[in-house]
Structure 1
């Protein structure tokens, strides 16, 4: 989890401000999707939520710094904008392979 967060941090650092937003999304999505595919055993939903929150926060801050503004960008960049417009990968909230009934 630490290595993934470090990768997200590096991909949204200020040295990438000159790059287009889509290139950052194209780098983040395979990183997050691949990590989630590899570590999908056990109770991962709280961890997924933590990673998703971190990725959203870092992307918003990067977008704000890129525009030359201060702040976290929660009002400027809503979740719908990040996921629907930019195409950021959304981690699943529940696991599909878990059984609903106890044996």
Structure 2
């Protein structure tokens, strides 16, 4: 397959980078490529298919970026500005990974982002209690306009 790909690329004036190219047995353990994890998995019907999802490193990079935007030292910022920046990051990340089987990852990341914004608002307003009472997920998504990555079931 590697030789076939090299010929196809060469016919288009491109070349395979030999130092970055490796051959893997995808049936055994899967592999990561461009932020995606690829692995063989059984469907509910028992037929094998290639399961793709955001890699753990890609999910961690999104969480780190949201943490940067919601640090304690940023509570002086206007809420709308912070939500707008979080939305830009999550919308871009979500659009990039929308081709994968992403429902589980997006659900977890939506929960994480909502939790971080809730913590940030709680610190910003100096509330002693009522963190979940004042800022429910619906309030964060509907009132504050936090972007919720779409969750669909994998086919």
TM over 0.5: yes
Kindly indicate whether structure 1 or structure 2 has the higher relative contact order, using CA contacts under 8 Å at least 6 residues apart.
1
Alignment of 1:37-48 (within 5 A): 37-48=95-106
Query: Which one has a larger percent strand, Structure 1 or Structure 2?
Result: 2
Larger radius of gyration: 2
- 1:70 Cα deviation (Å)? 4.4
Distance 1:20 1:39, change over 3 A: same
TM-score calculated relative to the size of structure 2? 0.58
Count of residue correspondences: 97
Unaligned runs of 5+ in 2: 1-58
Deviation, structure 1 residue 72: 7.6
CA deviations on 1:32-80 (whole Å, 9 max, x unpaired) are 0000111122321000011100000000000001112346821111122
Q: Is the 8 A contact 1:25 1:88 kept in 2?
A: yes
CA contact (8 A) 2:66 2:113 kept: yes
CA RMSD of aligned residues (A): 1.7
**Regions of 4+ moved over 2 Å:** 69-72
Alignment correspondent of 2:69: 11
Name the structure where helix makes up a greater proportion of residues: 1
* Kept after mapping to 2: 8 A contact 1:61/1:71: no
Whether the aligned pair in 2 keeps the contact of 1:60 and 1:73 (CA below 8 Å) is: yes
